[in-house]
Structure 1
Amino acid sequence: MLTYALGLGYRGEITEIRPGDPNATEKPFELEYDFTRPEFFDWSSKTGRLDLPLPSFHLPEADADKEQSSKPIEFGPPSDITYRLKLSLPPKYQTRLPVPITVTRDYAEYHSSYKLEGDSLIAERTLRVRQSEIPGGRAQDYLAFLNSTQADARQFVSVKTDLAVTPSFPDSMKLEELMKAAGAAEDNENYPLAEELLKRVLAKEPKHKLAHGRLGYVLLQQGKIDDATAALREQTKINPFDDSAYKVLAQVLWAQKKYDEAEAAFRKQIEVTPLDESAHGSLGRLLIDRRKYKEAVPELEQAISLDPDEAPGYEINLGQAYANLGQTSKAIEAFDRAIKLSHEPRTLNDVAYNLSVNNLQLDKAQQYAEEAVTGMATNLRDAKLEHLTTDDLDHVKSLAAYWDTLGWIHF
């Protein structure tokens, strides 16, 4: 049955297959089955999205640029296919359903419907093909039809609950299943649950090749610094060539102000994984904190090459290093590159602050600081007191900091 499920594009198991009577040709053939997929959704999360596990309709591709005389678009014999899904949801979840659509042409029609019956979601999608082919000159018309069906297939169900849900994990779960569940909990920032699951892994296999490192990370996220340090040190003993444990350990040691050990751990990570995207940048920032500006420069330059997404921040750090080395022209060049890469309020503010504390281009510093304040104020324009989000609160905190930067420049 698993092979059948995979053939439909599922990752799970289909059981209890109930076929209709193939001899009853006067009515459509029906096939019912039960579908089970472990870890389909992390129900410990308060919010999330569910992609509906329905098979896809196989419709031909077409080229809108083909000339009128191109060959026909072939559908095959006329057909009528309906997929129905009944998905059981946990109680006390608020659900936002997909939008039903109907698209009708002379050659085919498509319908979808979505509704709730108690704690069950009922989804239905129907495709009726009336003609075996249409002229190639109707490609644009057909592509609009095809795009509508594909857009409907991409719709998902949003779920939300105000309750703290604690999932149940049986003792019989295998190590791989526990690790996957812990990963899902991490992704949803449910670090206490991830910690519990990883400790269960280690109870079964104390020398597990990955679990100590993962445990160290989730402990760090909870502020359990001493326990995180112990777990990460154990990980480096079990696997001295771990591809991430040293840099996480370095972050923990940095938080404990054990700067020499943190620097050594970052350098060990780079020795093990020379092209690590974040280790060079983190080491560069640590070296700036330690006023080792000359050593910070090559690390930050490598970080900019390795991790373009973080390049604006690294360019600002590079500018800091050059400014403290007295190389003002290189510092200004780095700050300018940061602005070109990102015009976000945070980048504008950080460049403005660093220009001002180094008494460089104060006119530009004021311009950037004013833009940062305006940009963050714009982000808060639509915030509502009755529906404040954590992002809104972060924006308020940032806005205060940006005003502080602007005030410092005027001072």
Structure 2
Amino acid sequence: EEAIALDPKYAFAYNVLGNTHLNDLWLGLSKSPRNSLMQAIKMAKKAIALDDSHAAAHAVLGYYLIMARKHDEGIAEGEKAVSLGPNAAGVLQTYATILTYAGRREEAIPLFREALRLNPMPPNVYYRHFGMALRDSGQYEEAIALQKKAIEQDPNDFFAYVVLTSSCSLAGRDTEARAAAEEVIRINPRVSVARIQKVSPHKDRAVAKRYCDAQGRIQA
């Protein structure tokens, strides 16, 4: 907000502010989850209005639309983002996440690998989302390894522990799953499996139910 106050035409600042609203939604900090999501979408659209060639803004808007379960619109924005920034690692990672939530994991996984090739020292979101795609595809061991990389970089990465818990549970590695679940609660005691399932924008609700059931079996 301070950056926007200093320069109201700074498109990137609107993207960052939108992501803050979305994190409030995921972490259960928002008093109005729907309002937080609508604010995130509004910020992304503002960034695009300032600079329609901003690939990252289109990618972020696509992700927010997916969170609103507007899957076709989200994919369209993701495609636009990739057309504008075909070699931008962050854009590819976000588009791969969009495809994962839309149920197109077989297309998403190669994009995640390409994003990691372009940015071999990425922020944790790459590992978390790639791990989610692998978990949902039944590739549990690689999903687990990626979450451990994320946790090495940030021992308080709540989202990595969530993906790690469900991945270990689905892989039958219950001892590790319980340890990860304890970290989930330590970092965010307010979280519940029911809330995670409610917020999850998977188009195929059976996928969301499967990993949340795996999470709940351990975290109960």
The interval holding the TM-score normalised by the smaller chain is 0.5 to 0.7
Gaps of 5+ in 2: 22-35, 200-211
Structure 1 residue 254 and structure 2 residue 220: aligned?
no
Q: Give, in whole Å, the separation in 2 of the partners of 1:339 and 1:332.
A: 10
Matched with 2:66 is: 220
Paired residue type of 2:133: L
Given candidates 29, 35, 39, the residue that maps to 2:5 is: 39
Matched with 1:241 is: 87
Matched with 1:67 is: none
Gaps of 5+ in 1: 1-10, 12-36, 41-172, 324-330, 351-389, 395-400
Matched with 2:132 is: 285
**Counterparts of residues 5-404 of structure 1 (less than 5 Å):** 39=5, 175-176=9-10, 180=13, 183-184=16-17, 187-188=20-21, 189=36, 190-202=39-51, 206-276=52-122, 277-308=124-155, 309-310=157-158, 311-320=160-169, 322-323=171-172, 331-338=173-180, 341-344=183-186
Secondary structure in structure 2 of the residue aligned to 1:241: coil
1:232–1:218 distance in 2 versus 1, CA, 3 Å:
same
CA offset at residue 295 of structure 1? 3.4
More off after superposition, 284-293 vs 187-196? 187-196
Q: Give, in whole Å, the separation in 1 of the partners of 2:13 and 2:190.
A: 36
CA offset at residue 258 of structure 1? 1.0
Q: Give, in whole Å, the separation in 2 of the partners of 1:287 and 1:185.
A: 27
CA offset at residue 254 of structure 1? 1.7
CA offset at residue 318 of structure 1? 4.6
1:174–1:237 distance in 2 versus 1, CA, 3 Å:
same
Do the aligned residues in 2 keep the contact of 1:243 with 1:269 (CA within 8 Å)? yes
Identity of aligned residues (%): 17
Q: Give, in whole Å, the separation in 2 of the partners of 1:195 and 1:268.
A: 25
Cα RMSD (Å) of the superposition? 4.1
State which structure, 1 or 2, has the greater radius of gyration over its C-alpha atoms.
1
Q: Give, in whole Å, the separation in 1 of the partners of 2:93 and 2:168.
A: 24
Greater percentage in strand: 1
Greater percentage in helix: 2
Secondary structure in structure 1 of the residue aligned to 2:5: coil
1:306–1:318 distance in 2 versus 1, CA, 3 Å:
farther
Q: 1:156-181 deviations in whole A, cap 9, x for unaligned?
A: xxxxxxxxxxxxxxxxx9743x5545
Do the aligned residues in 2 keep the contact of 1:179 with 1:197 (CA within 8 Å)? no
Q: Could you tell me the TM-score, scaled by structure 2's length?
A: 0.60
Paired residue type of 2:49: R
Q: Could you tell me the TM-score, scaled by structure 1's length?
A: 0.36
Q: Give, in whole Å, the separation in 2 of the partners of 1:335 and 1:194.
A: 36
Number of residue pairs the alignment of both structures matches: 180
Q: Give, in whole Å, the separation in 1 of the partners of 2:13 and 2:129.
A: 28
Secondary structure in structure 1 of the residue aligned to 2:74: helix
Q: 1:121-168 deviations in whole A, cap 9, x for unaligned?
A: xxxxxxxxxxxxxxxxxxxxxxxxxxxxxxxxxxxxxxxxxxxxxxxx
Paired residue type of 2:118: V
